[in-house]
């Protein structure tokens, strides 16, 4: 059971945690001053150490270099003792398991760091073999340039050993690379990325270089921690990983590990996604949204589909251009926005995360990757949903090319209405004329379809009809309140994220319905404010951070928002599992 490490926040595989030592340490952090090594068993047999709560003690161990045959590792595996002080075990992908430690040291880190694929495989294998509420420590490999990538992969602790070695060699480290002091001096240059405490280059010694490198690494970690707290580490990483080829390779290798990252990535948050490169398309949040729109969402309107370009302002309906589109459409067509990197956004889902939480670089030019991605999403969307026809009210810059590609592959006619620009009088008149004779849908139909579409998106295909075969709505979008036929409020729309939040009555209704229900089974207690991981008996596999969940136990029933994934709830012994919104004693 983990006693001395707790995770407080998550951003993908990166975490903000706490080493609960005598003087607590916020992770990711340098471990130099808080880790004590009890020694290697290769050199001699060792008695169990006398640890204390002031440091993490690395238990006597046998480390294996990268490439060691798994049978050899198994033959010399260590049976770690059960101790009552903060402890760490030394493991590789082949030997990693739950040894009851609070942290685990990756023995072969120097052999895999520097090689994208090997680092990915080793890190994921170890991270998934050890308990989720334990720290992963990579020793002797961290630099200011690579530490963000290490943390993004799931590393919690590093040290300044390599930074010190580099300093003694006269190698000056920064977040964008390294420089040799002799070369800088020969160029008559200066110290890039220097701190006010650094002496000038002509007085800069190798001991000064050591001090600088450690300070630069510590500063880089502070940046990483801040980014994690704000949910913005990925944005930083997209630029940071470009400074070394192996970091770029690692960045791309981890993007291919959707299952590993998706389980650890929140489904909602307020942080804005910065879509600054084509690789934004590989983000979990983008892929998850596209998957839900094309496998969960179902169009409930009988009108033609009207495709329009996105807008800089979010949600799109608040923009001037979309106000003009809405006036021309006048509830005679079902509007959906096309955008990179999101794909296709039906009007009912424009407030959901991340549809109103991204900012794209606007140049007017579409890359081939962007066109391919959005075309694939549109194609899958039209294959799933029935429309009598598609009115493509889109400009020529990328949008029309995408529509023309898809029009050749689907069995639904396309019409194009833009003469020059989507908001010119002629174009808007063409759009209005294209919808002549179509019946208007009512405000009630629009609101009810919005509620059901959000339920499909949030809980699973068909959930909207299973949850709300009959409903009443009060208030206005995006703050709709959902009630049953008797007027009892079941849920409310959360405008910040565009999702549904249940009342206690709504949670009971959800739990009794045929809609997919995410459940957290707790022990015999009534939670107040939160459910801690030790109180969780079981949890649905598909729960992700930010999900709406039903909380059930022998003496309590409630509803709240998940603060851990389902697997992490089951396997953790510390930390908040669910923030409970409503609860009653049963």
Q: Which domains does the chain have, with CATH numbers?
A: 5-159+229-260 (3.20.20.105), 273-435 (3.40.50.10630), 459-585 (2.30.130.10)
φ and ψ of 584, to 5 deg:
-140, 150
DSSP string, 350-388: TTSTTTTSEEE---S---HHHHHHHHHHHHHHHHHS--S
pLDDT value for 520: 98
Q: How confident is the chain (586 residues) per 10-residue block, as mean pLDDT? A: 89 97 98 95 89 96 88 89 95 94 96 95 97 97 98 98 98 96 90 94 96 98 97 93 93 95 95 88 96 98 97 94 97 97 96 93 84 97 97 93 96 96 97 97 96 98 96 94 95 95 98 96 96 97 98 98 97 96 95
Question: What burial letters (b/e) apply to 108-122, b meaning 16+ CB within 10 Å?
Answer: bbbbbbbbbebbbeb
Question: ∠ CA 352-353-355 to the nearest 5 degrees?
Answer: 75
pLDDT value for 65: 86
pLDDT value for 1: 59
Question: ∠ CA 25-220-234 to the nearest 5 degrees?
Answer: 100
Quick one: CA dihedral 486, 491, 496, 497, positive or negative? negative
Place of tokens 């220097």: 194
Place of tokens 């956004």: 345
Report helix, strand or coil for 449: helix
Q: Is 90 left (phi over 0), alpha (psi -120 to 50) or beta?
A: beta
Closest among 346, 353, 355 to 382, alpha carbons compared = 346
Q: What share of the chain is helix, strand, coil (3-state, %, to 5)?
A: 35, 20, 45
Closest among 325, 341, 445, 302 to 394, alpha carbons compared = 325
| Reported pTM | 0.92
Closest among 584, 579, 570, 509 to 549, alpha carbons compared = 579
């Amino acid at each position: 059971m983990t006693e001395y490490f707790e995770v407080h926040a998550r951003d993908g595989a990166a975490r903000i945690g706490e080493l609960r030592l005598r003087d607590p340490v916020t992770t990711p952090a340098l471990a130099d001053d808080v880790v004590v090594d009890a020694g290697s068993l290769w050199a001699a047999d060792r008695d169990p150490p006398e640890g204390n709560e002031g440091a993490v003690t690395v238990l006597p161990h046998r480390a294996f270099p990268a490439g060691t045959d798994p049978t050899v590792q198994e033959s010399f595996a260590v049976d770690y003792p059960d101790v009552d002080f903060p402890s760490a075990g030394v493991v590789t992908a082949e030997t990693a398991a739950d040894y009851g430690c609070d942290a685990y040291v990756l023995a072969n880190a120097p052999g895999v760091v520097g090689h994208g694929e090997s680092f990915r495989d080793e890190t994921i294998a170890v991270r998934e073999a050890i308990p989720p509420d334990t720290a992963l420590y990579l020793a002797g490999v961290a630099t200011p340039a690579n530490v963000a990538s290490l943390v993004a992969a799931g590393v919690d602790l590093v040290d300044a050993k390599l930074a010190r070695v580099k300093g003694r060699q006269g190698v000056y480290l920064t977040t964008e690379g390294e420089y040799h002091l002799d070369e800088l001096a020969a160029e008559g240059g200066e110290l890039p990325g220097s701190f006010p405490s650094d002496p000038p280059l002509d007085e800069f010694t190798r001991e000064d270089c050591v001090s600088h490198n450690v300070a630069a690494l510590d500063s880089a970690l502070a940046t990483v921690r801040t980014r994690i707290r704000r949910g913005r580490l990925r944005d930083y990483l997209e630029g940071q990983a470009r400074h070394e080829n192996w970091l770029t390779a690692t960045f791309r290798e981890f993007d291919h590990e959707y299952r590993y990252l998706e389980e650890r990535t929140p489904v909602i948050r307020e942080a804005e996604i910065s879509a600054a490169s084509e690789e934004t398309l590989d983000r979990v949040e983008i892929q998850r949204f596209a998957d839900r729109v094309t496998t969960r969402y179902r169009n409930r309107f009988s009108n033609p589909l009207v495709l329009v370009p996105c807008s800089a302002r979010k949600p799109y309906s608040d923009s001037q251009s979309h106000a003009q589109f809405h006036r021309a459409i006048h509830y005679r067509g079902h509007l959906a926005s096309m955008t990179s990197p999101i794909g296709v956004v039906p009007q009912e889902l424009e407030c959901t995360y991340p549809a109103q939480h991204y900012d794209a670089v606007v140049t007017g030019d579409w890359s081939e990757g962007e066109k391919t991605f959005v075309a694939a999403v549109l194609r899958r969307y039209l294959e799933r949903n029935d429309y009598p026809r598609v009115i493509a009210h889109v400009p020529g810059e990328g949008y029309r090319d995408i529509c023309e590609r898809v029009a050749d592959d689907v069995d639904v006619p396309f019409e194009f209405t833009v003469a020059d620009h989507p908001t010119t009088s002629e174009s808007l008149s063409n759009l209005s004329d294209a919808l002549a004779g179509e019946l208007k849908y009512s405000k009630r139909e629009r609101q009810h379809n919005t509620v059901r579409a959000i339920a499909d998106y949030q809980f699973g295909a068909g959930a909207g009809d299973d949850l709300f075969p009959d409903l009443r709505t009060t208030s206005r979008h995006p703050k709709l309140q959902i009630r049953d036929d008797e007027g009892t409020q079941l849920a409310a729309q959360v405008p910040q994220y565009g999702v549904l939040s249940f009342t206690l009555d709504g949670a009971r209704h959800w739990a009794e319905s045929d809609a997919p229900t995410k459940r957290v089974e707790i022990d015999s207690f009534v939670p107040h404010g939160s459910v801690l991981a030790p109180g969780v008996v079981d949890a649905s596999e598909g729960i992700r951070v930010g999900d709406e969940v039903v909380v059930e136990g022998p003496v309590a029933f409630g509803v709240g928002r998940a603060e851990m994934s389902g697997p992490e709830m089951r396997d953790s012994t510390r930390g908040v599992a669910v923030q409970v919104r409503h609860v009653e004693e049963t």
